[in-house]
Amino acid sequence: MKVVIIGGVAGGATAAARIRRLDEHAQIVMLERSGYISYANCGLPYYIGGAIEDAGELTLQTPESFHARFRVDVRVHHEATAIDLENKVVRVRNLKTRETYEEPYDKLVLAPGARPIMPGLPGIDSPELFTLRTVEDTLRIRGHVDTQHPRSATVIGGGFIGLEMAENLAQRGLSVTIVEKMEQLMSPLDADMASFVHAKFRKQGVGLALGSAVTGFERTQEGILTHLDVGEPLRSDMVILAIGVSPDSTLAREAGLKLGMRGSIVVDEHMRTSAPDVYAVGDAVQIRHLVTGSEALISLAGPANKQARVAADNICGVSSVYHGAQGASILKLFDMTAASVGLNERAAQAAGLDYEKVVLSPANHASYYPGGRVMTLKVLYEKSSLRLLGAQIVGYDGVDKRIDVLATALQAGMTAPQLAQLDLAYAPPYSSAKDPVNMAGFMAENIEAGLVRQFHHADLAALRQNPNVTLLDTRTPGEYAHGHAEGFINIPVDELREHLSELDARKPVYVMCQSGLRSYVACRILSQHGFTCYNFSGGYRFYESIERNRLDERSAFPCGQMRD
């Protein structure tokens, strides 16, 4: 059996290694148009920033080492230019010699990945403008920073690559501004959760131009101008274009394979395309979203590697199925971590799901053990079935642990209240006896049992205009004096029972505290004394982050670069 693999990064290299482990006698040819294989895409920004010092650490295998271990005929600088499905051959061009030839196959694996989106904007071909996809791109950017010593950079795009590049360039000493067409960074998060991310970047001196679309670029003697649809252009010494990727499916389309959303390659659960003996894996394929069951594009390394294993199994006669992905992701943002899995509110609404949410701000470990730090955790679940729909966490230590627990629970089909019963490891340096994940389950239990009702930030504007409600802050007088939501009176929870007569029992009481815990206790007190009570989701800490973000957006323009 002869297997030809187009693409030698995550999906292609994994498929090749798995095929060899299953079939020692197969002939395997891997074509890669760049000069590197099996490299760590996710590590590329960290070499530019200097956290990874040796460029050799970016490549897990070289063509020579891969051949030595797996006896795979690796051909770098070789580009597949066409696929003849009827005759089962791939047309190939050697990019160094320009020689072209045909490579026959018995089985074909397409792992072309995705390509950076390059809009047709004026000045897009400027030599000071860079994209990041390959090791060559990384070396080019690192070389530019090392030799040209730019003082400022504009990063276009607030997704994973854009944020990682902004962080790493800032840590190299550059003044950085991020331009993002959406009103927020990091689209897997809801806007309220993204407010913490915005605050972190601003604190690190990174300017944010949110809700701004790029209209073009212009080279000047002072640098490169990034023209925006709103306001004056930004001037910087270099630009990183990271507005997203699209499936690299040109070969598949020209060969006549069935395509799906955004031109992605359609595959079945065995990773087979519409053509016999042709498989496809990675960022170029359309898969099933595990939460909604609908088609999805999820460009992440984890799914690509799993898909490659499934394709290799089926090529070698081992029945294997890929069930889909739920988009679990995590990102380092200076000393902060942001993570998500499954659906956010926008996605749940788009899917037509009726959902409930809980927001909490627990510490990463026992409060009495030194060094604890607060994280904000948001969990969505379906109202009718109570099944988990998604989760988002922003914080510091321990975020990765909790998002993985929630991802496992989500894939296992657990309900939100069942999180309360998870038996998780506990020791004071690592967690609390009531882990943050358990706490989310407790909150869902209380909501579903009718022990507490919630209100949210979006409700506040109407509540402030309603004279028939009471807005109550149950923090200490010191906390209240330091900052409080407009319209809220202050009665500390520990003094509430002595002041019940000051409240009108005919009016519903909307209660807030710092994190939501004391206000929950207050609601339990009030409800058992005849009051109708609602607890603010997320607490004042959550409210303050959202409000500060709104204020920053109104009062500030990007501080990273000069306006022209």
Residues with Cβ within 8 Å of residue 93, at least 6 apart in sequence: 78, 79, 81, 99, 100
> Look-up: residue for tokens 């709104």?
550
Strand arrangement of the beta sheet that strand 100-104 belongs to: 78-84, 89-94, 100-104
The token pair at 551 is: 């204020």
DSSP state of 198: H
Sequence-separated contacts (24+) of 366-375 with Cβ below 8 Å: 366/428, 366/429, 366/431, 366/432, 366/433, 367/432, 368/428, 369/428, 369/429, 371/397, 373/397, 374/515, 374/541, 375/399, 375/402, 375/436
Per residue, the 3-state secondary structure of 46-84, as one string, reads HHHHCCCCCHHHHECCCHHHHHHHHCCEEEECEEEEEEE
- The β-bridge relationship of strands 454-455 and 470-473 is unpaired
Q: Is 280 helix (H, G, I), strand (E, B) or coil?
A: strand
Catalytic residues: 42
Residues 296, 403, 181, 244: what is their CA dihedral angle, to the nearest 10 degrees? -50
The widest CA-to-CA distance across the chain, in whole angstroms, is: 90
Q: Give the pair of three-digit tokens for residue 147.
A: 């030799």
